Chain A
């Protein structure tokens, strides 16, 4: 499997996709450079480095939202032709005629994608923090470092979901274009339409919102449906990690009834506690990735490989 892993990794970093990865780092640099410094210093949570990822002042969209929305494209780009590309090229039969297990081919490719994503995500993170240090003049605190590392891991896991989705599509569909389109359709459905659907269904189930309880139950219905999408799980988890103050109440109450937060002692929770809060999200994302892997295996292991 190692041979496949290294070959695929070399492919990702080599000719084909390096531009895309470089692009990701550039996004980090641009965001780090354009984020409004004074807004962070005067109006933020006091956690400067976390605010760089969540603020919308000075940039069209927070870096965190940018990753949530556009990150999937990178995962998809790394995986959409993983298996059917080899099939079209005529290399799949040749590789599988060598003494390697079929799952090694799949695993090698998946792990190579994962390594590539990790390198890209963490380089981007380092770029953002580096530029932040240059502009803000203070180093990130230990607490911030823990949160950012956790955030990085969740981003990798989130992108791994899209990688796995694209690889599954590349197994089920014979044509690389079809699997790319199918993955992109999955991306649009999961990151946009599930949200619409959740709102719509929640409005049907809880039609009147007069009292705070009703508002909360509508919100709950909406959230639970939306959680079918990894984007929602990702946004919640990173929201908690990147906002030590509001994150403690999962952001939900603050969203629906900000006045309820009045009188609450506004103090940040520790990174460890935030990590505890996102633990279920991490498990859910892992479960989503595993489901895709299992489905892909089940299909790929017994499939006929015609040249």
Chain B
């Protein structure tokens, strides 16, 4: 059964003459991971605030888990977890105490809460730091605690406002891995705003791109690529040894449009993922593969294409 968890129609938020969100239509189905992209000031955060009743829409309709966030905020907030852009905790309380407070606000009984908190802290790898005051937490730890905080109420949907902001690359990978796991194992739907295009591409089922308060593009990554026919697949190899025949082999791989070598680096452009074939080709040619990096630049290109127009 697929039910709409978030639906917005003709949503508008105006500040004076400025329309931060201007006639937005948005849908989030159950079990879906939705990536909400856009440059700063395009109205992403404002849309998220309206979903939680933290600000009132000027016009239009919004329903989250079947309720109006302005009129029935509690029904919404019972089922929706929200991780704000810069999540904060009471600096003089420990990680655990902070979560316990959230549990109390959600009226989770104490024994359940204790078990659940330990479980979540374990999941976000904060078990060791759980009795430290959060004032001493690093940015990454706070973000992880924030995720535990969001999951505490066993939400149906989690809304993450730029969760990867300020995290180191390892932190980003870890966070996205966890989000992926949550959706697949616990069936939680995710609405995620981000600037991290690659990651969004990796974990999102669908993406929407905002510009000036409007959703300018929406669909799966594949659909968007078709719509804009941008990009393709890029692969950069660093190879020691290997001769001309290697380049020929690589050029002959399916979908490869260009293949160039400068020193140890070989840049391959194509329309599909040839990582496996390319790396094995290098090894079979008797050369040594020192490094390989793949770039599926589609979204980024779509993104740039839209935002360069402005």
Contacts and interface: CB of A to CB of B under 8 A. Distances in A.
Contacts of B104: 3, 7
Contact of B106 (A15, A89, A96, A98): A98
Given A304-B54, A307-B84, A98 B153 contact: yes
A9 to B, nearest CB: 13
B92 A89 contact: no
A3 B102 CA distance: 9
Contact of B105 (A4, A306, A307): A4
B88 interface: yes
User: Residue among A14, A90, A98 with the most chain B CB within 10 A?
Assistant: A98
Interface in B75-90: 77-78, 80-82, 84-90
Nearest to A95: B105
B149 interface: yes
User: Residue among B82, B88, B90, B104 with the most chain A CB within 10 A?
Assistant: B88
A97 interface: yes
B49 A101 contact: no
A90 B74 contact: no
What is the size category of the interface that chain B forms with chain A? 20 to 34
Interface in B86-113: 86-92, 101-102, 104-107
B91 A89 contact: yes
B180 interface: no
B88 A97 contact: no
Interface in B57-81: 73-74, 77-78, 80-81
A90 B87 contact: yes
Contacts of A306: 45, 49, 54-55
B87 A97 contact: no
B49 A304 contact: yes
A306 B52 CA distance: 11
Given A3-B105, A7-B101, A302-B56, A99 B84 contact: no
Nearest to B78: A99
A305 interface: yes
A89 B82 CA distance: 16
Interface in A47-106: 89-91, 93-101
Interface string B120-159: 0000000000000000000000000010010001000000
B92 A16 contact: yes
A89 B74 contact: no
Nearest to A92: B88
A90 B56 contact: no
Contacts of A100: 74, 77, 105
Contact of A305 (B54, B74, B89): B54
Contacts of A3: 101, 104-105, 107
A97 B101 contact: no
Nearest to A15: B92
B161 interface: yes
A97 B82 contact: yes
Given A94-B149, A98-B77, A304 B92 contact: no
Contacts of B56: 302
A100 B56 CA distance: 17
Contacts of A304: 49, 54-55
B307 to A, nearest CB: 23
B77 A97 contact: yes
User: Residue among A4, A14, A307 with the most chain B CB within 10 A?
Assistant: A307
B49 A94 contact: no
Contacts of A7: 101, 104
5 contacts: A7-B104, A91-B88, A93-B82, A97-B77, A99-B74
Interface of B: 45, 49, 52, 54-56, 73-74, 77-78, 80-82, 84-92, 101-102, 104-107, 146, 149, 153, 161
Kindly list the 7 A-B residue pairs having the minimum CB-CB distance in the complex, ordered from nearest. Answer: A90-B88, A307-B84, A3-B104, A304-B55, A97-B82, A98-B105, A93-B84
Given A89-B89, A98-B106, 13 more contacts: A89-B90, A89-B91, A90-B89, A91-B89, A94-B82, A98-B105, A100-B74, A101-B73, A305-B49, A305-B54, A307-B45, A307-B84, A307-B86
Interface of A: 3-4, 7, 14-16, 89-91, 93-101, 302, 304-307
